[in-house]
Structure 1
Amino acid sequence: MLKEERHKLIMREVNLHNKVLSADLSRLLDVSEDTIRRDFKELIEAGRILKVHGGAVSPSFHFAHNMQGEVYAREAKQAIAEKTKRLLKKDITVLIEGGTTIIELAKAIPNDLRATFFTLSPQVAIALSDREKLDVISIGGKLSKNSNVHTGASVINQLAEIKVDLCIIGANGLSVAEGLTDSDWEIVQIIKAMMRSSQKVAVLSISEKLNTTQRLKVCDLQAVDYLITELPPDDSFLNPYKSSVELM
């Protein structure tokens, strides 16, 4: 495989999953990890990715608070945000994660919505802070530099003490067979704790992430109440998901 082709595939994986591991890319592209590290070096120098322990992340994910920065599939994520707003009723309590799709949701929330939002993401808290009628509560802990959300035992303990109407999370990988998956062990534990604290769970995902799987299991698809993509609910691409989750 030519270097240009590898770079294109690496960028697709980074854009889809926000973070990629060099070991996973080595297996996917059937090249050595040394080759992946050299590719990373060139992409980092070009400003296209950021290096993190064991892999790389998208600059748009790492700096999601930069509203003028480039965000992969922004129009699709804005369409998802508009759909998600239908679930936000007056006086609802919401537990919300982080990531570029959820940042778009935070920006789209109406100024007159009266609600309470708990969030693990400093970026999301900042994006919500100018909504006059929202109560925004940050759940603090160790800040994960890979995902920009708070993680660790203190976060899980705080989550165990609350009960909300709706949990809103993004997807790293999602499929009918494997359910919701991720590549980060600490994030998996946090998402599980978020789901335990919630009456309903909504997963926000661009359609490109569907039918993909990461190495760590979060939950089966049946544990999710709503799947919100940019596609119409009756799109044939979503047919395999209809029996397990409500599509929006």
Structure 2
Amino acid sequence: MIQSSTSIMKKERQMLIMKQINLHNRALSSDLSMLLNVSEDTIRRDLNELAEAGKLVKVHGGALSKSYQFSYSTVNAYASSAKQVIAQKAASLIKKDMFVVIGGGTTVSELIRHIPMDISATFFTVSLLTALQLCDHSHATVIFVGGTIAKTSQISAGGEVISRLADIHADLCILGANGISFNEGITESDMETVQVKRAMMKASKQTAILTISEKLDSVQRVRVCDLDEINYLVTELEPDSGELKAYKRDRLTIM
């Protein structure tokens, strides 16, 4: 549990800030302020210093993980070995001639690296980086569902995007999770991202959630869906792991 004392040392505080940003790909200054029990001014100074050191990307109201924004290389991605295991499992869900709605993030990026290069499938995505990475698959059809790019989540969002997703009838939706809890389900840090993810799920027959086990039992601000609304939960753990026992549901396959 994170220490809630204002006496927390600057170096330790910045390490905790980096852990939160790497774990969830992004963080709001207000959330970090509450978590570490320091002022938002202190958090802003920390974020500025970390940005100047090249450790994160400072944005309005918070910060992004560098690996999340600029490149689909996962060499320096947080928990990269766990994400490779997840990718190997999740790649088995994608079959020939499928229509797949797919999100963004470093775990999804690792998944794309494990999808056979010669697969013939159609991919719809709201992530520009995901679209560019999928273009390396010569037999895949890649459709970017474009709109205004949300600076915090790095995906296209808004009414036009949700409307376009409503016209899609896909076989599978693949999403990362910012937070996941057996009580609260899948959660996100902002409503804009939640609305897009809900539309992606609604556009698909089945939904797969990919997450490293470190995010289990974590809750963000806004709920995306209950666990009963997803079909696959993919982590790096063995399906019968004790950490996953509380997540078992009748219609949910744990991989």
Please report the TM-score for the alignment, with normalisation by the length of structure 1. Answer: 0.96
Distance 2:65 2:126 in 1: 20
Q: For residue 18 of structure 2, what is the aligned residue in structure 1?
A: 11
Q: For residue 4 of structure 2, what is the aligned residue in structure 1?
A: none
Which of 68, 77, 95 is matched with 2:83 structurally? Answer: 77
| Conservation of the 8 A alpha-carbon contact between 1:168 and 1:202 | yes
How far the C-alpha of 1:69 sits from its partner, in A, is 5.4
| Conservation of the 8 A alpha-carbon contact between 1:64 and 1:100 | no
| Conservation of the 8 A alpha-carbon contact between 1:64 and 1:99 | no
Q: For residue 135 of structure 1, what is the aligned residue in structure 2?
A: 141
How far the C-alpha of 1:122 sits from its partner, in A, is 1.2
How far the C-alpha of 1:64 sits from its partner, in A, is 3.0
How far the C-alpha of 1:132 sits from its partner, in A, is 2.0
Which of 64, 70, 83 is matched with 2:71 structurally? Answer: 64
Overall identity of the aligned pairs, in %:
52
Distance 1:219 1:154 in 2: 22
Which of 159, 163, 177 is matched with 1:157 structurally? Answer: 163
Trace 1:105-144 onto structure 2 (pairs within 5 A): 105-144=111-150
Q: Which runs of 5+ in 1 are unaligned?
A: none
Q: Which runs of 5+ in 2 are unaligned?
A: 1-7
Q: For residue 202 of structure 2, what is the aligned residue in structure 1?
A: 196
- Structure 1 moving runs of 4+ over 6 Å: none
Is structure 2 residue 41 aligned with structure 1 residue 23? no
Q: For residue 236 of structure 1, what is the aligned residue in structure 2?
A: 242
Distance 2:24 2:236 in 1: 17
Please report the TM-score for the alignment, with normalisation by the length of structure 2. Answer: 0.94
| Conservation of the 8 A alpha-carbon contact between 1:62 and 1:146 | no
- Cα deviation 1:102-134 (Å, max 9, x = unaligned): 111112110222211111111111111121221
| Conservation of the 8 A alpha-carbon contact between 2:67 and 2:74 | no
How far the C-alpha of 1:147 sits from its partner, in A, is 2.0
Distance 1:19 1:80 in 2: 21
Amino acid of the structure 1 residue aligned with 2:248: K
Matched residue count: 247
SS at match of 2:173: strand
Distance 2:146 2:13 in 1: 38
